[in-house]
Structure 1
Amino acid sequence: MKRAFACWSVLLLLAALFAPGPVRAATTTIVAFGDSLTAGYGVTPEDAFPVRLEAALKARGRDVRVINAGVSGDTSAGGLARLDWSLADKPNLIVLELGSNDMLRGIDPGSTEANLDAILRKLTDAKIPVLLCGMFAARNLGPDYVGRFDAIYPKLAQKYGVPLHPFFLDGVALDAKLNQGDGMHPNPAGVKIIVDRIAPVVEKLLPAQ
């Protein structure tokens, strides 16, 4: 009887030692895919949008890694050409911010729309969730250009059924206190406002952990 009890004790001890522990959810990978507004032009690396977004989401208890896939000066055509490189990171979510340089260069809105359409089609085919960040055209470009450009983002969001953050620079654009000397790129205070407004939207799109 004592021997049987001893055997059961050993078995229970071994079971406890080798029992699997709680499974830790995998880190969620987010790719911030855009131009200089994403890349962090003119601010320190610590103040770039992807870094600040990652910090904000971690402060909300989310285990995330935000990859900075912003390229200063990039257009929608440039983004489309390099998209496959970022897909190699196997992201769980892409925050897509492109088009401002197209607008600043006066590129035909039809071309911008076609490039963004192709990007969204690739992401849809790859089954990668995306948050589309909109942009507004400078009003001095004239009502025809402004109307065609501003309509791109709502139109594509509806076409592909993706969430739209209507204006990436919401609360920051045209405020000298929140922008660098060029009046176009946010300073650290401006980046904070952008992140404060977009982080709750991004969090809702993250997989359960």
Structure 2
Amino acid sequence: MLRAFTYGAWGALSKAIVLTGVLAVAPAAAEPVEIVALGDSLTEGYGLPIQDGLVPQLTEWLAARGHDVRVVNAGVSGDTTAGGLSRAAWSLGPGTDAMIVALGGNDLLRGIDPAFSRRNLDGILQVAQEAGVEVLLVGMQAPGNYGPDYKAAFDAMYPELAERYDALLVPSFFDGLREPGAEPAAPADLARFMQADGIHPNREGVARIVAALGPAVERLIDRAAAD
């Protein structure tokens, strides 16, 4: 009896030791990829219920495609590229893996010199680079009434900075509001996707923007996961 008891006790103990070893070497559950969305009212979700804004809709879009991701809403209404630069560093936490930068619309509305906007965006990308954070830069296009020189300088800063910092690029925040391959839509054609102010997208407009932006964000996630 003593021998049987001893053998049984040892067997139970040995199984416990093996199980403990397995648990010790089992990989920890992967943390979700954290993306900070640095932007203005377009990012913040101005004029919309929280769940209809860009960040919640983008998070839902990514989750539906199997991505374990946390998107932090760092959009501030009225923010310019200067405001974005002033808070870029403290917007990035220790767990931040990537950043979406969508700024410049308010610079346009205020007619700010594109050279100034460019320096600010350059500074934001430097902050991300120093933090080891991958970036998706979302551009804007100036309207023609600013004059050809202003438009050329403003439109060029996004692709040129993306190339300089090896950042991903979406040429225009509003790309999703026109049919693939179509010319930029006239304001009247976009009205059904916009709120009454004609500046901010409505729920359907945000959904279309997310659908166009989403594949680039997936590439951003792949880059962040590879680092």
TM-score normalised over the length of structure 2: 0.86
Shift of 1:84: 2.1
Structure 1 counterpart of 2:159, from 154, 160, 163: 154
The CA distance in 2 between the partners of 1:199 and 1:8, in whole Å, is: 56
Deviation at 1:3, TM superposition (A): 5.4
Mind listing any 5+ residue stretches in structure 1 that lack a counterpart?
none
CA apart distance, 1:13: 3.0
Distance verdict in 2 for CA 1:135–1:24, change over 3 Å? same
Q: Structure 1 counterpart of 2:44, which letter? A: A
Q: Does 1:14 align with 2:20?
A: no
State the partner residue of 1:181: 196
Q: Among all aligned residue pairs of Structure 1 and Structure 2, give the percentage whose two residues are the same amino acid.
A: 47
CA–CA distance in structure 2, aligned partners of residues 85 and 125 of structure 1: 13
SS at the partner of 1:65? strand
In structure 2, the residue matched to 1:170 is 175
SS at match of 2:137: strand
Larger C-alpha radius of gyration, 1 or 2? Answer: 2
Single out whichever of 135-144 and 146-155 deviates more from structure 2: 135-144
Residues 1-40 of structure 1 correspond to what in structure 2 (within 5 A)? 2=4, 5-15=7-17, 17-18=19-20, 19-20=22-23, 21-40=26-45
Q: Number of residue pairs matched?
A: 209
1:116 aligns with 2:121: yes
Please state if 1:145 is matched with 2:150.
yes
Aligned to 1:72: 77
Q: Distance in 2 between matches of 1:105 and 1:159?
A: 26
Name whichever structure is richer in helix by fraction.
Answer: 2
Change (3 A) 1:16 1:62: farther
Consecutive unaligned residues in structure 2, runs of 5 or more:
178-184
